[in-house]
Amino acid sequence: MEIGGLLEKLREEKPLVHHITNMVTMSECANVTLVAGGLPIMAHAPQEVAEMVSHAGALVLNIGTLTPAQVDAMVLAGRRANELGLPVVLDPVGAGATSLRLEAAKRLLKEIKISIIKGNEAEVAIMAGGAAEIKGVESINVSGDVVELAASLARDTNAVVAVTGAVDRVTDGERMVEVTNGNALMATVVGTGCMTASVMGCFAAVEKDTLKAAVAALVTFNVAAELAARNSDAPASFKSQLFDELYRLDEQTIKTRQNIKERMINQ
């Protein structure tokens, strides 16, 4: 898969990325959007979300610290994004950890056309109707084939599904792309998953092929993590370096370091 030129396009167009997101990681999501090349806005009030998304290039929804009122705002924003043909990224944080989270995620999938679903293995498995163990927001165990569950969810929702883990997998139900870039220190920093969804929103705003956009976002963010880890061996300094390396990243470095494998499902 050719993802060259998308980072440059993102930085040229500087799309506004509207977030209704996790209160724990809101600052990190805003910062990562900015250093990647987009413009962040975190607008949650039901009275303004439809108007705000009208000015955006993409919408990112994250249920990490959800409330029923926030989900209502997500539906309003999502419907407006659908009317305008804007991509919507859903991060179903902790789906399955409580009934509220799972019901909220299912409601969003029912009432909004989602372009990209990004989750860890347990979140995706549970959303697909499979069995998994999740502790808080961390994936502990999945029963069944994650690839097949992700592909099934993609086919059922007509969305691209991105499963993050030691190896990231992205599928549209027919194609599967594996991204093996990244670094273990990413798991020591709260919010790297949320930030990944934000970067996906950035790329989806400038690339209509949502599979390609999701892959480009993962490669870009994960390559930045690899570079950050060269100068850090602990979480706090790694987080700082991650923003810096993403800000400094260029197309040639991505091309040199990207590690992508593409195949058809069941082949």
Give domain 6-262's CATH architecture: 3-Layer(aba) Sandwich (3.40)
Domain range list for the chain: 6-262
Q: One digit per residue, pLDDT tens: the chain, 267 residues?
A: 789 899 999 999 999 999 999 999 999 999 999 999 999 999 999 999 999 999 999 999 999 999 999 999 999 999 999 999 999 999 999 887 888 989 999 999 999 999 999 999 888 988 888 766 565 544 445 556 888 889 999 999 999 999 999 899 999 999 999 999 999 999 999 999 999 999 999 999 999 999 999 999 999 999 999 999 998 999 999 999 999 999 999 999 999 999 999 998 874
User: Does the annotation flag 42 for ligand binding?
Assistant: yes
What is residue 97's predicted lDDT score, i.e. its pLDDT? 81
Q: What is the pTM of this model?
A: 0.94
User: Does the annotation flag 96 for ligand binding?
Assistant: no
User: Does the annotation flag 256 for ligand binding?
Assistant: no
What is residue 138's predicted lDDT score, i.e. its pLDDT? 47
41-45's contacts with Cβ under 8 Å and 24+ in sequence apart are 41/16, 41/17, 43/18, 43/19, 44/20, 44/70, 44/73, 45/73
User: Does the annotation flag 118 for ligand binding?
Assistant: yes
What is residue 147's predicted lDDT score, i.e. its pLDDT? 84
What is residue 109's predicted lDDT score, i.e. its pLDDT? 95
